[in-house]
Amino acid sequence: MSPRYHPLSAKLPATSEDNSSFVADTFASGTITQITGVPKRCTRNLMNIGLVDFNGFDTWLDDVTRVLRQKNLHRLIDADIEHPPATSPHAARWEKVSKDVRAWLFQAVSEDINGFVCCRPYRCDFADEYIEALKKTFKKTGYLAASADCVTLWTIRRNQYSTNSEFEEAFRDQYAKLGQRVTISPFFLSQVVLHEIRYDNPTLVTVEHAIYDRTYTNAEDFSAKDLLRLFNNLIRELQNVENSHAAASIKNPNSS
């Protein structure tokens, strides 16, 4: 490999540190290390897989792992696999290949995302360290994690699921996850979920609207507990309807 290093990579934490002690503290002789299986000659003919927004990280990492696995380089981004010991004849080669893969990864990530990584105190000298830094940046509780969860919730739509109940369950679960970080109006979300199934089950939606119209004078009175109760009621009713339709189709397989 002969990568072209992005100028911003020079700002990554730990790039100017002494790497003489880069190996893991303990090493069991004969175990697999990150250099295991790496071909003697590594080319730069790796697929261009770009990470341009905060919500595509998991898919991007899956794609990166798949591409690296095809080249037998996937162990280099796995922090659970030990680095070769400093005394290994492969240590210098591992250091070079790992840094080359890190450079390729860095080039694949947008400058904005790398900026978020650079402003955090994460060591990023080697490929596995850079991947771990990305994971910490995306998965930690904070702005980026909340941002990703917000977009995930906002993009959940009925047409992504085969049944109404599956849609309601997905929306409920994502709301429960997001609710740990962000306060969102329960009333607003109740209207979203009812709106999404209005054509599939208009009678149920009308009944729910009528019930809540009689119960709540102000939208602000509709609480998070009320929203979860709505989710559970909808899921139960929708599953009953879906099960009835399934049973009917079994009895009358030729009915449309």
pLDDT per 10-residue tile (average), the chain, 256 residues: 46 44 42 88 70 80 91 92 91 92 91 82 91 82 70 90 92 82 87 93 92 90 90 92 86 66
* Domain shared by 14 and 135, yes or no: yes
Q: For residues 16 and 132, state if they share a domain.
A: yes
Domain-located, residue 254: no
Res 180: pLDDT: 66
Place of tokens 């595509």: 56
SS3 51: strand
The tokens 């890190």 sit on which residue?
A: 102
Amino acid (one-letter) located at 233: N
- Beta-bridge partner residues of 82: 33
pLDDT score, position 30: 60
- The closest of 43, 39, 173, 26 to 86, measured between CA atoms, is 26
Do 17 and 119 share a domain, yes or no?
A: yes
Nearest-10 crossing angle of helices 164-178, 186-196: 160
Print the domain residue range for 119.
7-21+34-139
Please name which of 133, 236, 250, 228 lies closest in space to residue 179, comparing C-alpha atoms.
Answer: 228
Residue that terminates a domain, selected from 71, 106, 139: 139
What pLDDT is stored for residue 102 in this prediction? 93
Q: What is the pLDDT of residue 8?
A: 52
Separation in Å, CA 56 to CA 50, 51, 81, 124, 138 = 10, 7, 25, 21, 10
For the chain, how many structural domains are there in total? 2
Are the C-beta atoms of residues 138 and 56 closer than 8 Å to each other?
A: no
Phi and psi of 15, rounded to 5°?
Answer: -70, -25
User: Does residue 28 lie within any of the structural domains?
Assistant: no
Q: Is residue 154 located within the same domain as residue 134?
A: no
Same domain, 198 and 114: no
Name the E strands within the chain.
none
Considering the domain architecture, whether residues 193 and 221 belong to the same structural domain is answered as yes
Determine the Cα–Cα distance for residues 49 and 108; give it in Å rounded to an integer: 6
238 lies in the same domain as 149: yes
Query: What pLDDT does 81 receive?
Result: 93
User: Contact at 8 Å (CB) between 135 and 163?
Assistant: no
Check whether residue 177 and residue 122 sit in a common domain: no
Q: According to the model, what pLDDT value does residue 255 have?
A: 57
Amino acid at 78: D
